[in-house]
Structure 1
């Protein structure tokens, strides 16, 4: 396998619980919460481990909640590199309303980063990017980090002969719109993010493929993957335009599906698979993830079994 580094700048301690009904006013009695280490890159590393892969998870953590996060990472058996974050690591809360099955997700902001600590973190990250490997920057940027951080990280990766996969949201989308992020190995966006970037709806797979092709042509990334929810995902790259459908499975929770996709896709890349086969593997992992509760991710047996159900077709 090509070595993989995941990067989580804005991690969280994820709390997952359930209550009979969500309503304003009375105290809502919840079941005992499940706690997991969360954040895009961490989830990718967790899913990679479940799928039989390996990675190093670089995580910014601070304060008492950061210490708890480190304990949860150790309990999960992940190889980690911790860099110091200012303030307290954030929490996120997911609540299932048992009566309706609806999921309510509450996401808190991360700590503010002063510029001297941003510079220090940038230097520490540059030291650990694996030569000839893959780096995955996933999840939101905390306040204080530049919205085009992926551009400077991409340059570090290029200097080390590594590829950068970007799966992020929020501020980084503004930098993408402005053309300030280029040279990525892979860019992945969910449907809402892709439509935000396009400035209009993407009614079908062909429209998503056209947007992805434009991003490839402009040098944003060599491979662009745009998710389309239950329809699957579209990929455009040097091997052409492809779509892989989602498997028809019972949906328990959509939390973690995107991160599981990135894990499956990255695992395929690390093994030298063609991009379209990585797309199919990613969709199988995402389909497996929606079958699990709360903040749980994909299961390996499910992901391997579902590959055959994720139909691959040219666009």
Structure 2
């Protein structure tokens, strides 16, 4: 088996994720919560956690600050993720997920995190130039810190010129990456709602999604574009290939971390030299496995392997 390419993940706006349950969400009352689950959160961190769960290794670059940052560092160590701490500005943010037992609804409260200045950004660029590896995969995932420019992802990628950059973003940074493509971007991932916001119309079937994704590739946006179609499955397009992987049917407990689990499995498979159809299938199985777990927990390897046959990718 070929040697696995190195994987680097970047999390500049991490969070101490807390998850709990209440019988009912009622305004104006003290809500007695169940014992909280604490996990290290943030897109890149979740990707690294899921890679480890799937038997892989990665190096997570994580910006940490204040007492919350210290607590988060302890949780990352406990999770067994190899990480390098970046001194971030201010206090690391927190997030709260509350499940309402009576309805099954989930409420997610995300705090913004500290504002980044030019000095902090310059430090990250220097660190990326030192730690990214030629031919390795570098994952930029999760929300951008407050204070960063709209083209921050492009600036980060520019600091890793010989790395295969995987970008999983949304909102204005996604729009910027499509309007002004990042040179050499390996993979761009988005969900179906984001894709429809870019096109301005519904992508009603898999062919529509594949047309859209392949169109972006041929415009030079990325070598591979992945669009998640929710409960339907996932589409991956290159300049000359269009693949669809169905989402295995599972009981949904929490959607937190499904996208990060997908990215982790996809990148791990690619780093191992597996073809795109196998990487897409593993990603879809990992996403389905993630929604089976509680709160901020991610995919379990035994669930991924059990669901893999249901996620087999095929050409569109």
Scaled by the length of structure 2, the TM-score of the pair is 0.96
Q: Are residue 274 (structure 1) and residue 275 (structure 2) matched?
A: yes
Partner of 1:188: 189
Partner of 2:199: 198
Which of 47, 52, 61 is 2:55 aligned to? Answer: 52
Which of 77, 80, 86 is 1:77 aligned to? Answer: 80
Residue 16 of structure 1 aligns to a residue whose secondary structure is: strand
**Structure 1: gaps of 5 or more residues:** none
Once the two structures are TM-superposed, the CA of residue 182 in structure 1 deviates from its matched residue by: 3.9
Partner of 2:291: 290
Partner of 2:28: 25
Q: Are residue 174 (structure 1) and residue 175 (structure 2) matched?
A: yes
State the Cα deviation string for residues 219-273 of structure 1 (Å, max 9, x = none): 1100000000000000101551010001111111111110000011011101101
Which of 133, 156, 161 is 1:153 aligned to? Answer: 156
Once the two structures are TM-superposed, the CA of residue 191 in structure 1 deviates from its matched residue by: 1.4
State the Cα deviation string for residues 19-62 of structure 1 (Å, max 9, x = none): 00012111111001111000000000000000001000000111
Provide the rounded CA distance (Å) in 2 between the counterparts of 1:69 and 1:170.
Answer: 27
**Structure 2: gaps of 5 or more residues:** none
Partner of 1:264: 265
Give the aligned CA root-mean-square deviation in angstroms. Answer: 1.2
Partner of 2:46: 43
Residue 145 of structure 1 aligns to a residue whose secondary structure is: coil
Provide the rounded CA distance (Å) in 2 between the counterparts of 1:295 and 1:199.
Answer: 32
C-alpha contact (below 8 Å) 1:239/1:275 kept by paired residues: no
**Quick check: 182-191 or 132-141, which moved more?**
182-191
State the Cα deviation string for residues 161-211 of structure 1 (Å, max 9, x = none): x20000012331231243253421001001122122222222111111111
Partner of 2:104: 101
Partner of 2:218: 217
Q: Are residue 64 (structure 1) and residue 61 (structure 2) matched?
A: no
Q: Are residue 313 (structure 1) and residue 286 (structure 2) matched?
A: no
Residue 68 of structure 1 aligns to a residue whose secondary structure is: helix
Provide the rounded CA distance (Å) in 1 between the counterparts of 2:93 and 2:181.
Answer: 28
C-alpha contact (below 8 Å) 2:128/2:159 kept by paired residues: no
Partner of 2:7: 4
Scaled by the length of structure 1, the TM-score of the pair is 0.96
State the Cα deviation string for residues 86-112 of structure 1 (Å, max 9, x = none): 011111100000011111111111110
C-alpha contact (below 8 Å) 1:223/1:237 kept by paired residues: yes
Provide the rounded CA distance (Å) in 2 between the counterparts of 1:177 and 1:2.
Answer: 27
